[in-house]
Each structure stands twice: as C-alpha cells, then as structure tokens.
Structure 1
Amino acid sequence: MVEDKLAQYYFRMVKLGVRNEVLITLNEVADLVFTSARHCRTILKEMSSLGWLEWRPKVGRNQRSILYLNFHVEELKSELAKIMISNGKYEKALSLINNDRALFGSLLQNTSGVVRREGQLHIQLTYRRSFSALLPHRSLRNSERFLLRQVYCCLTQCDSNGVLSSQLAHHWVYNEQLYQWRFYLRPDLSFHDGSAITAECIVELFQKLKVLPEYQDELAHVVTITASNSHCIQFQLDQPDLGFAGLLADARYSIQPVSQLFSSKTIVGSGAFQVEEHSETRLQLQAFDRYYSCRALADTVTIWKVMRDSLGKIAMKSGGAGVSKEAECSHYLEKNEDNKKVKNNEVRTRIEDGCLLALFNHNSGLSLLQRKYLSQILAPDKLQEQLVQSRGKIEAVPAYNLLQHWMKTIHSPSDKQELPDTLTIAVFDHQALFRCASIIIELLNQIGIKCEVNSYAFDDFYQKAKENTLLEDIILTSLDLDDNRPTSVYRWLLSNPILHQSLSADIKVWLKAELINIRSESQLADYLGKLESVASSMISDYRLLPLFHHRQTLRFQGVLKGVSITGWGWPAIQDVWTED
C-alpha cells in the first residue's frame, strides 16, 4: 500500500507543526525525512494529491516554500486505518492504531456497508454484543435466530401468513386418515462441510431431537420417524396435525448434522451462508456455493462487536436496581401505531410482531384480585405516561395483546387490593426490559410497594425456567417471533419455558388441550385467528400482561439501498448488492 510508505515520511514532518504555515526549503524537508531532494519533491506532490498537506514551492535558490500539514499523527492513522478496513485488512488497521479497540470500533461503524473488492461483494456491519453459538437446538435471542436463517435451512418455509413454500423438501403430503406426513428431499443436497444431506441423516436428527426435553411437548405426538428411501422422510403421528409441515419450518428444526447436537467446535449448516469465523469480536459468513436455491448476492458478511458507550451501564441486582444517570437509550416511544416508511429511503422502520410482557408467577401466590389490581397499576398506557415523565423515551408503542393487530383486551376497573410489602421482579439482560423494570419500580413505589429486581444472563434465565426455579413474583420477558409467525406464536404458547414456569398446573393442562385442538382441526393459515382467543383468555385471566411492541429501525447510511428490513430488525443480507 503506497500510503503506508508515504505515512512514514509524513510522520517525520509532524514535528514542524500541524495546521500552521511553515516556511522551509525543499532541502530542509528532504533532510528531515531522510531522502533526496528529488524524491522529496515527488512524495510532497503525492501527499498533496491525497490531501494530507499543502506544498507551495517558491522559485529560486534557497527560497523558502510554504508547507501546511493537515493532519496530526493520530488523525492520519485513523484515515489510513479506515482505508485498510474498507479493504478488509482489519488486523493491519488495528496494528496501525496501536490496538486501540475503542477507536477501531468507531472506525468500523464509520466504514460499515457494502464494498466490492477484486470482483467480490463484501458486507461489513457492527453489533453491540457478541453472538452466542448458532445452534438451532438451544434457546437463542432474536438476532441469533435471524442468523440461524442465514446459516441453516429447514425442510419447509413458512411466511407470516402461514403460507408454506419449499426449502430442502420440494414436496410434502399429509394422509389425514393415517395421520402421516411425508417430505420429499431435493437431490444432491449437502452440508457446509461437503457431507450429503439424506433422508437417513434427517431421520436420525429428528429422532435425537424428539428425546431432548426442549422438544418433547412439540413432538410428543410423533410415534415414528423413518426414511422410505434416500429422498423421503415419513413422520407417523398418533393424532391429527394439519399444520405439522409449518412446525418443521421453525428455526428450531433447522437441518444440521446429528453430531452437532453433542459437539459444536465448528458450526456446520445447510443454508445460504456458512460460518467462516465466530469469535468474541466478530462473526464472518461466507456465501455457500452449493446452496440449493439462489446463491446469496454477497460473498462475505462480517459483523463486528462494537460497544455503544452512549448507552452507559445499567446495573440490576437482587435487592434493588440502579440505572446510570448517563445512560441513554436509542429507542423512542411514539404514539403512532402504524408501521411507517420514512421518507428518507435509507431508513426502514416497523413495529415488531411480538412484544415485551410481564408474567405473574403462580409460585408467588398472588390471588386473582391482586393480579387484576397489579394489571391496572402497570397498564401499558400508564407505563408509557410514567416513562415519558421520568426517563424520556423508548422506541415502542403500548401493547394490549401479544400481537399488535389482535383485538385490544379491555379490563374492568379494579378495587384496591392489599399487596405484599415487597415484590420481586425477574428480568434477563435486555436493555428495553431493564427500562420496563425501572418504570415498574417507580409506579409500585408510588403506592408504597418496594421492589427487588433480579437480573440474569439470558442463558441463566432460561435454565432457571427449565428447572422451575424462577421464583420472582413478576417475570419480565419478550415474545420474539420469527418469519414463520403462526408457528412462532403457537410454539411459544406450547413450549416456552419462561411462560410455562409462570403458569399453574391446571392452566398448563388447559392451554395444552386448547393448542392440541387447534393443530388437530385448523390449517396453518388459520392458526393466528385461533391463537388470538387463547392469548386473550390468558390476558383476561391476568396470567400475563403485554407491555410494549418494539419499533425496529434500520439505518442504511446510504449503502444498503433497496434492501428490506426483516422481522428480526436486520437487513435481508442475502439480497444486498451494489451497482459499483
């Protein structure tokens, strides 16, 4: 890189002063940078063309010319590092700026976007945290589930309206008399490591999934899983299930090697992108050339972890909650409930399909009247009002049901009830949930109720739920849906450990019976209509309380034109391209 060598000469000149006119001869400059006068004239011309300095030579022997340097050493290093980052030379850029991680993160943000290098298209993005291992059989946060969709395929694909389309299976059929589903694979499919995807390996995968505790509720009605031949998988059920093909479109049923269920040193998927590197600092994806469908337009995607210092630090622990006064949230509370398309085509915004919600834990022993009273105090419109008064903004709209387009639940006024002197709240490490917890504390303090907030890491939160040891009175969580909206809602109600941890035994029996009845009698496209009444009943019974629907905003900064925002709030990276 020519600029590297020039920079060394420039750094020697900086001792003359920056952003000041310096009267100096060409020979003096040459002596300063340890080169000949002839070569010095050449490098001054090159630096001037790059905008690093201004050189106004004077005619005549020993005439003093004017030299004006535009950059301090660190400023020029930053500019050079940006160029290196744009060229994919990340380690070299980091070395140039003396391993300054904060500066490196800032430069990554400034250079994020799309670039074409040597004929290949590269996407560079930044994110505020590291990603968990991309394993479909584990409980994962929203962004990880988006990445699952890039790295894996399922047998089928389901859209937000319950319409099925093919992925690894090109055809499927249901025998209503025998309760039997058959899925027919495309020929010549392969995993990212080159091994073949066959009916036999998929049968083995589902047989192993069926015995995992996290899958037992969903697959309890599956009696046998067999391969009729190398391209046909058969599921024998013991009861009707009209939407089973949609269930298998969920990210949890992504097709992966069986061995990956027990050992995950490397991630082997079946989707449009394969994992090249996954570390604490970055995730790098490479387009998979043998992907069954249209190859991704981008060749690589690199997502760097960059901490957002402006968010400050929010500390939650047992016995109380502390929120840094300097903490700022980039979320804004807006009363406009419609999905809007900002005039600037570099911004995409949408209301998420799911919501943030509070669960009243049956372990706490709160009565129906007490839950009703708490629901009135913590109603989403009151949370909104208090939030605006005390802390400003959160990018969300009040939620009155699990999905925004579902019927608004209306509660009758409640008489004041005696509540415990102290209520406990459980929450996992999620910025918006921390905000909700803080505002709930304020509202309860106003009526003389103290609060203890216990904050858990995401994995610990789910593990405690699976062990039935989340004992707090109120559990704050989120309903995050994927692109297969009908089965996402269905699965959440059927088997989400956080929800089921909070429900009493009799309510769980009722809920399971309702859901089995839906899958036995309803087509996938009719799921949402049926599930709405189930969710509304649980809200009316004060088992759960919807709080907010997030407004997801994606700013493309002029580099990802014409790309849609997905249901996870991420750009559709398979479709990213550039005219350059």
Structure 2
Amino acid sequence: MRLQNRLNQYQRLYNKTGLVPQAITVSALAAIFCCSERHTRTLLALFQQAGWIRWSSQAGRGKRAEIACLKTPESLRESYLQKLLDEGEHSAALQLSQLDSQHLNTLLAPHLGGQWQEDAPTLRIPYYRAMQTLDPQTLTGRAEQHIAHTLHAGLTRFVTGESAPQPDLAHHWQISHEGKVWQFFLRSHLYWHNGEPLLTRQICQLFETFRQSPRSRHSLDNVEAISQPHALCLQFQLQKPDYWFAHRLADLSCLLFHPHAPTVGAGPFKLAHFAPERVRLEQHPYYHLQRPYLSAIEYWITPHLFDSEIKNKVSCQHPVRITLGEKNQMALVRPVKRSTSLGFCYLAINLRKNALSPAQAQKIVALIRHSGLLDNLPIDHSLVKRSREMLPGWPLPVASTEALETHDGVQLPKKLSLLFHPPIELELVAGALKTLLADEGCELETHYHPGRLWNDAAQLTAVDLMLGDRLIGEAPVATLENWLRQDPLWHAILSDDALDQQNQRLLSIQQHPSESLREEKLRAHFYQLMEHGSITPLFNYQYQVSAPPGVNGVQLTAWGWFDFCRAWLPPPVSQPD
C-alpha cells in the first residue's frame, strides 16, 4: 500500500527530527529513508506538496537545508484513516491503522451498524475472530453456517420461524410410490451469483458428488438413483420411503454451489469480498425469490474492539450476543430480540468402551444434576440457561433425590478421561466435573479438541466422557434425527447392538407420513438414550440481538443470528435547504 509506505517513511523522519526545524543534507535524509538521494528528493517533494513538511533546499551537493515536520505521524494516520472510512475503503483503513485499540475504536464505532452508502442500505457487524472459508462442505462455525445459508440455495429451504421446509430452487415437489419417488420441479431462469445460468444437469452432478462426500452422504445414503425426467425436473428414487427427505435437502450439507467455485451460490446475497479483516456480502441481482431490502452486509473482523473497555457498547460480549448501532446511538440501544437456543451443550458417556456401566453413567448424570455444578459455574448466567428438556415438550428423565440415593452404592472407576471442544463454557464444565468426580474418588483427565465438530469415531473411542455443543436449526426434530445419522459420536459411544437398534428404529420412523408420529417415536428414542445415561443436555444459550431504533425487522433465526433478508434501515433524514 503506497500511502502506508509513505507514512512509514515520514515516521522515520519524524523520529529523527520531531517538530523542531533541523539543518540537514539530502544524503543524511537518504540514510534515514534507506533509499537513494534521487528518491529522497521525490519523497521530500511529495511530503511538501501534501503539507506534511516545510523544506528549503540549497543548491550544491552536500549543502545543508532546513527541514521541519509540520504534523505528527499519529495525526496523519488518523486523518487518512478517517478519510478511507468515510469513502468506504474499510480494508485499506484497517491495514493502515497502527493506532492503539481504544483510539481506533473511537474512529471505527461511527461506521458500524446501519449505514446508507451511495444511496444503498448497508449493515456493518463487528466480529471477534477471522472467518472460515465459506465452503458449505467444510465450515463448522455458527456464524459461517448462517452466512452459508445466506449465500447458497438448496432445492428446499428453511424459513425463519417455520419448521417445515419451503420451496427454494424447486418451485414445488411431488411424492409418489408411497414415499419412494420425489420429483422437484425447478423454477425457470435460475442464475448463479456470477451471472451464469444454473442448469438442472449441474444440480444432478452436484448431488452425485454429494453422495460420495463425507459431509453429505448421510443425507443421501437412501438415494438409489437421480435422474432428470425433463428440463426443469429433478427426480430422486429412494430405496426406502423417507418423509424427512425434503428436510434433508434443506440441510447445510445439501446446499448447492457452483461446480467450479464453492463460495459461489444462488442465495439472496453473494460473496463480494473475503479477507482476514473484512467480509462483504452484496445482494444477488438475479435472486429467484423476494430480494432483501439490505444492499450489503459487512463483517468487520476487529478483535481489538473486544479487548477494550468499550466492547460492551460497540459489539457483542459473547458470540451469542450481537449489538448493532453507531457510537452516538449506543445510549438508545436496547435488546430487540431474545430467545433460548433450541441447541444445547451436552454430556455424552461412552458405554461402548465398557469402562463405565449404565449404572455408573447414570450416577455421573445424577451427580451433575444434584450438585449444583451448572448453577455455580463462574459464567454470566444471563448467557446460559440450564436445560430442563431436550426440545420443548421433550422432558428429561426425572432426577429425584431418591434416584441419586439409588446410586449411592455404585462406585466409579478410579480414573476416567474426558474430551471437550468449544465453546469456552464447556472448559469450565470440564474443570468443575473434575472436582466433582474427585470427591467420589475418581480422577478425571481432561483433553481439549479445538474443532467445533468431532472428527471421527476413532477420536472418541479412547475417552469415557465427551462435552459437546449441538446446534439445532429451524426444524428441530429433523435436526435431531439427522444428528443420529451424521455425528460420529454415536458410533463411538453406542454398542454394536444399540447402534443396530437405533438404525432400524430410524429407518422405521422415516417411513411414517405423519409428522406428529415421527416426532413421537423419535422423542421416545432420545428419552431412552437419556435414561441409559448415553446423552444428557446440560444448558442452552440465551440468544440476544440489540439495536438502536433505526435498525428494523430484526428477527432471530434458530442459529442465534438474525435474518438478513428481513432486516431494513430507514432512509437518511434529508436536511432542509
């Protein structure tokens, strides 16, 4: 960046001379700038033209001339940074910045939240970490999954607040042969973000690829054949009836992307810029459904905002808390949406390893629930809520005092191992559980897995306990059914007989056309898993979005983000002539 290089050169000069006029030769200045005398004269001319220095030269080689710096490097950086921000050159501004975090926050804050830029509504969101590459086949972060559903379309999709899948690229679908043949009738004139037509044969090829993909094959392992009966129809022939199939096609693992570019999709927003310091989404001009009001959405990757004392006013204190707004609006910011996550952090117990019996597993669960462990964690309890049910209407097994007394005579093993992954709350649970089990004469060895998903069953077979986080989307029942199919957790913790029984039960459940009957049978299966101690929900997050009055249409999704397609900003107030 040329401007940054010039500012660095000016910094060297200022470090040598300060604001006091100095008599100096061009050769001495060349040594300061680490360049030739010819280039030094060019720099001096540029600095003088810009008003940074006063320079009076004298004819003759080796003659001393007077030079005076007129501005401090900090003031120059700040003024150019402000100019770049005002012009919308955010990436250049963040690269230029060498200010301390609090000073930088003061400049950045007015540019966050809702803004109109070149007559287009733009929403800017400060974010605390770098983003993963937005390939739906590889990403794991909650924010990235939300963005993927914004960038990419599927044959079906989930709409905020609706548990049933809705048409997306498919205008509608038909089911025949008692749930074994599904025909999806595509909308005409579909386009990728790059302007190329989205063709039916491309979708066929993508689904054939998905059938071999580790991320997607579990959703499609019942598919026997994929065909194209006519130009705008895609047909799936299933081995067994599956009335979850439209739900599966709306899942992250079945989002469709351009065959040669995984970040190019057909969703309401396209990826316009992706860099470590900024991610920008812009409206897809050829979107096939109702286009959003917002023209662009930007994530400013600004971890320094979260390290300063004003972080509570500029952005979220925690990934489940999002705050939108300009600095001068912060006094007006109020929570506009709150919800309890359907997803939950959980404890899983490995009964396949045989280091723990069902009775011992049940004792560990009873100890957690009666010890107050979750209530006494050193966390902000407005962020989490102790789980009382797996899903609304799906109660946990009764945890009575008598049940705990039943396990008094059950001795735990002398040593157990535990594996946990993010979020940070699970590390605190692991530490508290270590203390709790030590009181029972059991040493707990804890290990950290940095990924947000388990890699494979082999990673889990060697440990006895696991702490994980289960995200749940708009269709909670279908998500839990999919969890049993996709997560390597179950292959690691269930015995072969229990795994076979689960697979047969899932096969039976999927063949019921009645959604309420499918839910009833799946609820009974999870209740049995909880009774045995295999899985126990621990706590749910309390999602919250806060915004000043100018940001409207904020609606929380099941992911804890807000629906980008529904948010809107009022136009700027015109000043009277």
Q: State the TM bucket, normalised to the shorter chain.
A: 0.7 to 0.9
* Residue aligning to 1:5: none
How big is the shift at 1:568?
Answer: 1.4
Find out whether 1:533 has 2:524 as its counterpart.
yes
* Residue aligning to 1:429: 422
Return the match for 1:462 from 430, 444, 454: 454
SS in 2 for 1:575: coil
Aligned ranges 1:377-456 → 2 under 5 Å: 377-379=367-369, 382-387=372-377, 393=381, 395-411=383-399, 412-413=403-404, 414-416=406-408, 417-456=410-449
* Residue aligning to 2:25: none
Once the two structures are overlaid, the 10-residue window that deviates more, 247-256 or 541-550, is 247-256
How big is the shift at 1:445?
Answer: 3.1
One-letter code aligned to 2:132: S
Q: Residues of 2 paired with 1:370 and 1:291: CA distance? A: 55
One-letter code aligned to 2:300: W
How big is the shift at 1:119?
Answer: 0.9
Find out whether 1:233 has 2:234 as its counterpart.
yes
How big is the shift at 1:447?
Answer: 3.0
Distance change >3 Å, CA 331–CA 292, structure 1 → 2: closer
Q: Residues of 2 paired with 1:379 and 1:289: CA distance? A: 52
Q: Answer yes or no: is the 8 Å Cα contact 2:387–2:539 preserved in 1.
A: yes
Q: Residues of 1 paired with 2:110 and 2:53: CA distance? A: 35
Q: Residues of 2 paired with 1:402 and 1:178: CA distance? A: 29
**Cα deviation code 1:204-240 (max 9, x no counterpart):** 1111111223434332221100111121000011211
Return the match for 1:555 from 537, 546, 549: 546
Q: Residues of 2 paired with 1:510 and 1:185: CA distance? A: 38
Q: Answer yes or no: is the 8 Å Cα contact 2:555–2:567 preserved in 1.
A: no
How big is the shift at 1:488?
Answer: 1.5
Number of positions where the alignment pairs a residue of Structure 1 with one of Structure 2: 486
How big is the shift at 1:286?
Answer: 1.4
How big is the shift at 1:99?
Answer: 6.0
Q: Answer yes or no: is the 8 Å Cα contact 2:423–2:469 preserved in 1.
A: no
Distance change >3 Å, CA 82–CA 431, structure 1 → 2: farther
SS in 1 for 2:426: helix
Uncovered stretches (5+) of structure 2, i.e. residues with no partner: 1-9, 21-50, 55-71, 309-315, 321-331, 573-577
Once the two structures are overlaid, the 10-residue window that deviates more, 468-477 or 521-530, is 521-530
TM-score by length of 1: 0.75
How big is the shift at 1:363?
Answer: 2.7
How big is the shift at 1:450?
Answer: 2.7
TM-score by length of 2: 0.76
Find out whether 1:175 has 2:171 as its counterpart.
no
**Cα deviation code 1:288-345 (max 9, x no counterpart):** 1001111222222111223268689xxxxxxxxxxxxxxx97599xxxxxxxxxx975
Once the two structures are overlaid, the 10-residue window that deviates more, 366-375 or 99-108, is 99-108
Find out whether 1:209 has 2:219 as its counterpart.
no
Find out whether 1:89 has 2:89 as its counterpart.
yes
SS in 2 for 1:453: strand
* Residue aligning to 1:198: 199
One-letter code aligned to 2:286: R
Q: Answer yes or no: is the 8 Å Cα contact 2:74–2:99 preserved in 1.
A: no
Distance change >3 Å, CA 394–CA 434, structure 1 → 2: farther
**Cα deviation code 1:240-296 (max 9, x no counterpart):** 112312221212211113345xxx5xx111101111222332221111100111122
Percent identity over paired residues? 21
Q: Residues of 1 paired with 2:96 and 2:241: CA distance? A: 64
SS in 2 for 1:433: helix
Once the two structures are overlaid, the 10-residue window that deviates more, 492-501 or 141-150, is 492-501
How big is the shift at 1:432?
Answer: 2.2
Once the two structures are overlaid, the 10-residue window that deviates more, 411-420 or 489-498, is 411-420
Aligned ranges 1:278-293 → 2 under 5 Å: 278-293=274-289
Once the two structures are overlaid, the 10-residue window that deviates more, 294-303 or 528-537, is 528-537
Q: Residues of 2 paired with 1:353 and 1:380: CA distance? A: 23
Uncovered stretches (5+) of structure 1, i.e. residues with no partner: 1-7, 17-31, 36-71, 313-327, 333-342
Q: Residues of 2 paired with 1:489 and 1:478: CA distance? A: 13
One-letter code aligned to 1:397: K
Once the two structures are overlaid, the 10-residue window that deviates more, 303-312 or 418-427, is 303-312
* Residue aligning to 2:291: 295
Q: Residues of 1 paired with 2:214 and 2:280: CA distance? A: 31
* Residue aligning to 2:508: 517
Distance change >3 Å, CA 118–CA 213, structure 1 → 2: closer
**Cα deviation code 1:120-142 (max 9, x no counterpart):** 12111012222222222235232
Aligned ranges 1:470-549 → 2 under 5 Å: 470-524=461-515, 527-549=518-540
SS in 2 for 1:258: coil
How big is the shift at 1:107?
Answer: 4.7
Q: Answer yes or no: is the 8 Å Cα contact 2:268–2:283 preserved in 1.
A: yes
Q: Answer yes or no: is the 8 Å Cα contact 1:105–1:307 preserved in 2.
A: no
Distance change >3 Å, CA 219–CA 445, structure 1 → 2: same
Q: Residues of 1 paired with 2:307 and 2:440: CA distance? A: 30
Distance change >3 Å, CA 178–CA 470, structure 1 → 2: closer
* Residue aligning to 1:306: 302
Distance change >3 Å, CA 33–CA 207, structure 1 → 2: closer
* Residue aligning to 1:274: 270
Return the match for 2:359 from 363, 369, 372: 369
**Cα deviation code 1:54-81 (max 9, x no counterpart):** xxxxxxxxxxxxxxxxxx9968966874
Q: Answer yes or no: is the 8 Å Cα contact 1:425–1:451 preserved in 2.
A: yes
